[in-house]
Amino acid sequence: MRVTLISIPVRDQRKALEFYTTKLGFIVNKNVDMGGGNRWITLLSKDLPDGPEILLEPGPLHFEPCKVYQDALLEANYPYTQFDVDDVQSEYNRLQALGVEFLQEPKEMGEVKTAVLNDTVGNNIMLIEYLKT
């Protein structure tokens, strides 16, 4: 068994596609019209192009429990998911220069350093660096 696709609920697929590609640096793998204004958009990490795909899922637009869950995470300032990076401070500086909003500046917590950003489409995303001990 292996993970091949992870879904991230987004409130606006066009805005999400713009943010995840131009700001975060993911690359488009699939972008297929599914009808009804929905698309099957999957992204890959430029650093791990053979890794799992991220699906920009328009769930909150079509399934109220998904929106309720997403709203609850936002209200609690809780990240929906995390992305690993080699250097949180460098990514924070790069993304902040691009206008990305952060809820948490880089912070060391034991064996990791984290920062939390808002993806503009309903999610907080944690960046995490595993510190060498």
CATH assignment at residue 18: 3.10.180.10
The pTM for the full model equals 0.94
Binned at pLDDT 50, 70 and 90, residue 132 comes out as confident
Q: What's the chain's Rg over C-alpha atoms?
A: 15
Strand pairing report for 124-130 and 81-84: parallel
For residue 40, give the amino acid letter. Answer: W
Binned at pLDDT 50, 70 and 90, residue 5 comes out as very high
Q: What are 34's two structure tokens?
A: 């599914």
Reported in sequence order, the residue ranges of the chain that DSSP labels E, i.e. its strands, are 5-9, 27-35, 38-44, 53-57, 81-84, 102-109, 112-118, 124-130
Domain extent at residue 45: 5-130
Instruction: Count up the domains in the chain and report the number.
Output: 1
- Digit-coded pLDDT (tens) for 35-44: 999 999 999 9
